[in-house]
Structure 1
Amino acid sequence: MAATPAPRLVERSRQAARAEVARTGVALFLERGFDATTMDDVAAAAGISRRTLFRYFGSKEEVALGHLSGLGDELADALRAQPDDVDVWDALVTTFEQVLPTALAADDGAARALSQLVESTAALRAAHADKHRLWIDALTPAVAERLAGSPDPQLAARAVVGTVLACLDAATHEWLCSGDTRDVGELALAALRAVRGTR
């Protein structure tokens, strides 16, 4: 498989600016509350115009959760890079081991606060569910390719991907509601292994 070319400097600069605006927006949401914060507030705090803000993000929900947008495609690419002879579930666990630490890298306190904000805000819960659907759409074809010999590869793939996301939800719940000191990525991998019955 050919290596993916590195983003050009302009695109890297845009990604860095987008990430900085998102951090500013999330900090405002945590300070003032999601519903009480407007896009104008985010633009002012970030020192950019409203027009520029909307070039980066189409909504407040996207400001809060935009960092998850490309995760489905990233997971699908990593899964396709796994050896063909590896069992689909083992390949998925390896994929998440490779992708999650980077995808979820953040200050633990800030990440936990954002997760709690999502759990307590109806609009963000709905937006997060939409992200899950995008991940399912991205991952299902990659899983189906590994199940091509099964009677219903698309059905089986969608069921497997749904189970994976249920593991992520279980890990997030445990992370928020228990005293477990592991980070959410570690808990997600533990949940994936638990479903398979492996350690």
Structure 2
Amino acid sequence: MWHITQKIIDKVGSALCKDTDFLTRFNTIVWDSDLEPFEFEEKWQKLISDFQLEDNDWLSTMFTDRKHWILAYHRDLPMGYILRTTQRSKSANSFSSDYVTVTPLLYHCYIIQMLLCPCHIITRFQTAMDQQRYTQSPDYYDNDHSLPNLDTNIHLEKHGAIVYTHAVFKMFQEEVKAAISCGVADFDKEENLRIIFVEEAE
């Protein structure tokens, strides 16, 4: 599955993948372990028809070999869901990162499935976790191997670029830029307190 999904863009063309919902539909079909085989075949044929890919030899070969890689054909195996190996988290999830959504309803469904088939739910949960980790892995790499761009020469901003992740630093940077546009407007004293009034410069 992982190797096949790696090739899909090259085999059908980057324009089709970029300008249409082909990838989303493709991944929804091939990763859905709840489909019956006949449902998969119907959805596959409709996908091929909708995007006029009847003459694509590679897709035709993949459909011919569908029983070797499509999850729908392994539903009856006791450990069929294990076919979603951790390789899936290495790249295939880049095509389907929007496919799994955790909702309260989904959570309750997971609890019910856990009671009925613990092995099934544990495997599906692990797959979802692998997907989430892969989706976030580019951010981890950027945080470990680069520093974000600075907008000022203020030491505080430089320090923030080192200690914060890129995502958090962007929020911090906005606060820094807002702060440097402010200045001291007035002073006051109340007993042992010194009060400083700060306002944004015009």
Q: TM-score, normalised by structure 1?
A: 0.32
- Name the structure with the higher strand share: 2
Q: TM-score, normalised by structure 2?
A: 0.32
Greater RCO, 1 or 2 (C-alpha within 8 Å, sep 6+):
1
